[in-house]
Amino acid sequence: MKLRTKTWLAVTAATGLALGGFSPALAAGNAGPTEHTDMGVTGDAVMDHLQKISDISTSHADEGFRALGTPGYEESVEYVEQTLEATGAFDVERQAFEVDNQTFGEVAANVDGEDLEVTEASYTEGTEEPLTDLPVALPVDDDYSDLAGGQLGCAASDFDDSAEGALVLVARGTCSFGEKTQAATDAGAAAVILYNNDTSAPDEPLNATLGERIENGAPTVGVSYNVGNDLLTKIEAAAEGEPLLADFTLETEYTTSTTWNVIAETKAGDHDNVQMFGAHLDGVAEGPGANDNGSGSAALLASAEALAEQPTEADNAIRFGWWAAEEVGLVGSTHYVENLGEAELSKVKSYMNFDMIGSDNYIVGTLDSDGSDVPIPDGVNVPEGSAELEGIFTDYFADIDQPNVGTDFSGRSDYQAFIDNGIPASGLFSGADGTKTEQEAEWFGGTVGDKHDTNYHQSTDTIENVSKESVDIFAPAIGFAVHTLAYDLVDEPTDPPTDPTDPPTDPTDPPTDPTDPPTDDPTDDPTDDPTDDPTDDPS
């Protein structure tokens, strides 16, 4: 569990997150806040917006809900825009761009007469017609039990001649999925099966993305560790010169869709010091995406409305982003960051990401940008200031005695493009396809051994299956983070305040208050004192 001191108080201009100095609110004669608050953001407010987003999604169930290129997504964009414009506090922009959209038909793999449970990889190429009687081959390795070495298939040299025209089995790890498919393609493979390396969740399907289309690339699917390991055992046991044979089909179609990010920035605040918050608005075609990621999108709307109602204007500009095309490879957020330009990019001082906050078997997770709970994966950039951003949440939770855990800071969601460009990042996460541990169940309740979100990427990701208890925890935390990065605190007023109309006192002036009241008896006659006798001779 994360427990800390007030690390966010150390967030200074040195880390580029919050700058002191001139305050627009103070200049206007309105004292700013003396402490940070959650701005009254509640789970109920988030659920109100989530209900609207959910209704939009389900009304377009026959058209792919809220997925890329669907009418449901466009209507959701319009709802976000209308909500923000109604506050009067934001400049709202719709950023259009084009993206390849991929749909799938039949996807199947059968090895030695047995059908395998496979999941198509995003950006894979398809088969022009079913492939039959493919030999099944492995990369070259001297130890296939260590999930390392040649079996990772990161280079064409990891394969020998047996890969030519074959279905090759490659383990997850070290290099990207796209690099594995490219290596197998270069070695002449006809198709690729990638298998998961997570032995702690051996039945976990592998949902891989190749990142981008690979010209003439080998069609690629993913399988769980158990499916892959069983297939590995069968391939090794096959008699020399008599490989297993497979049938493989992957039907896919690419179309180009126009889609939109929605960007909203406070009219108030220092626009050279932008603190940014984001969530992806799109979902998958398999379900209405209430948790993934209607929940994060709704939380941003509730926080934006609360910020607009604050009694003083923000010191730092707050920018919200609702991202498109996250589900097909973080496309919207990447497009946004890459098109900012150097000058505009330098104005963005921080980014907070909220991708799912209502998982039914939830955890209270922070993106572990300091690596204290989950080691930072190799190759992941952690810009300076990211740990301080995480500290905003861990300190908040510590103050309310809310247990919380660090989750992978791996770039798996829309903060990837920001950290790749040196912008500090953190965020919150209620869990997706990870498995609940006994310790997590003790802290957060729920079912040990089940996924954190048992409806992830399924038709059952409905608002009825969103955990209101989880949303109630996350909603005020997000509001608190927005307030913390929006405002520079001012000192408490003196008690009692001085009256500015009173003139200053000159210490040399005689007192204005009367002395003690005079005595009723006169003082002694000075002649009674012999020392005062004028006849005395001083000599």
**Strands 405-407 and 365-367, bridge-based pairing:** parallel
The b-or-e profile of 284-310 (16+ CB within 10 A means b, else e) is bbebbbbbbbbbbbbbbbbbbbbbbeb
Nearest to 255 by CA among 100, 105, 67: 100
Q: Distance of alpha carbon 220 from its chain centroid, rounded?
A: 28
Q: State the DSSP H helix or E strand holding residue 319, giving kind and residue range, or none if neither.
A: strand 316-323
Contact 222, 195 (CB under 8 A): yes
Structure tokens at 417: 């493009």
Concatenated DSSP letters of 118-131:
-EEPBT----SS-E
356: left (phi over 0), alpha (psi -120 to 50) or beta: left
Concatenated DSSP letters of 434-469:
SB--HHHHHHH-S-TTSBSSTTTTSTT--GGGS-HH
Active site residue 326: yes
**What 3-state DSSP class applies to 306?**
helix
Concatenated DSSP letters of 37-85:
--TT--HHHHHHHHHHHHHHHHHTGGGTTT-TTSHHHHHHHHHHHHHHH
d(CA 404, CA 391): 12
Instruction: Specify burial of residue 263 (Cβ count, 10 A radius: 0-12, 13-18, 19+).
Output: buried
d(CA 347, CA 281): 24
d(CA 6, CA 392): 8
Contact 83, 305 (CB under 8 A): yes
Nearest to 185 by CA among 210, 222, 149, 148: 210
Identity of the amino acid at 378: D
Task: Say how many C-beta atoms besides its own lie within 10 A of residue 539's C-beta.
Answer: 3
Q: Which of 326, 327, 388, 440 is catalytic?
A: 326
Contact 130, 117 (CB under 8 A): no
Strand-pair partners of 98: 258
Beta strands in 269-315, from DSSP E residues, in sequence order: 270-280
**Strands 425-429 and 348-354, bridge-based pairing:** parallel
Active site amino acids: 326
